[in-house]
Homo-oligomer: A and B are copies of this chain.
C-alpha cells in the first residue's frame, strides 16, 4: 500500500465539487503505475452508475484491453457501495484500499452494512479501510456541512 495513490484519489475527489457531486475519487494501480482514474459524476452525468470506482475500473480495463484486473489495486477515498464492491469482485481486483468508512451504504467492512468480500463470491480481494481517514472523512463532512448552510 502506498498513500501517494490515496493523495491522488483525494485530488480527484475535489473535482466533484465543480458539479456539486459528493466528493469521492478513485485510482487503479498496476505495477506502480496509475492505469485508471475516476471521480463521482452522478449529478454531472445524471447517471446512477457513474461512481468514482466504476469510472476508474472502466478506464483501467480499457487501458489493459481486458476486463481482468487481477494484479491491480484500487484506492478510493470512501468505502465502496454494493455496486462498486460488486464491480471490484467482477473485475478480480486484488487489493482495495479505502479512506473513510461509510455506515449507510458501505459494503466492505463489518462496521458498515455488510462486507461483501467476506461472502461466498468467487473472488475475495484484500481490503484495507480507514487509510488517510481524517482527510478523506473531512471531504464528505465538509461537503454536507456546506450543503446545509
Cα of A49 to Cα of B36 in the assembled complex, Å: 14
With contact pairs A49-B54, A61-B47 given, residues A105 and B83 touching in the complex (Cβ less than 8 Å): no
CB pair B89 A104 closer than 8 Å: no
Question: What B residues does A68 contact at CB under 8 A?
Answer: 48
User: Within the oligomer, what is the number of copies of this chain?
Assistant: 2
CB pair B86 A61 closer than 8 Å: no
CB pair B82 A105 closer than 8 Å: no
CB pair B86 A83 closer than 8 Å: yes
> What residues make up the interface of A, taking CB atoms closer than 8 Å to B?
42-43, 46-49, 51, 54, 57-58, 61-62, 64-69, 81-87, 89-91, 104-105, 107, 113-114, 116, 119-122
Closest 9 CB pairs of A and B: A83-B86, A82-B86, A48-B91, A48-B67, A48-B90, A83-B87, A113-B120, A46-B67, A86-B86
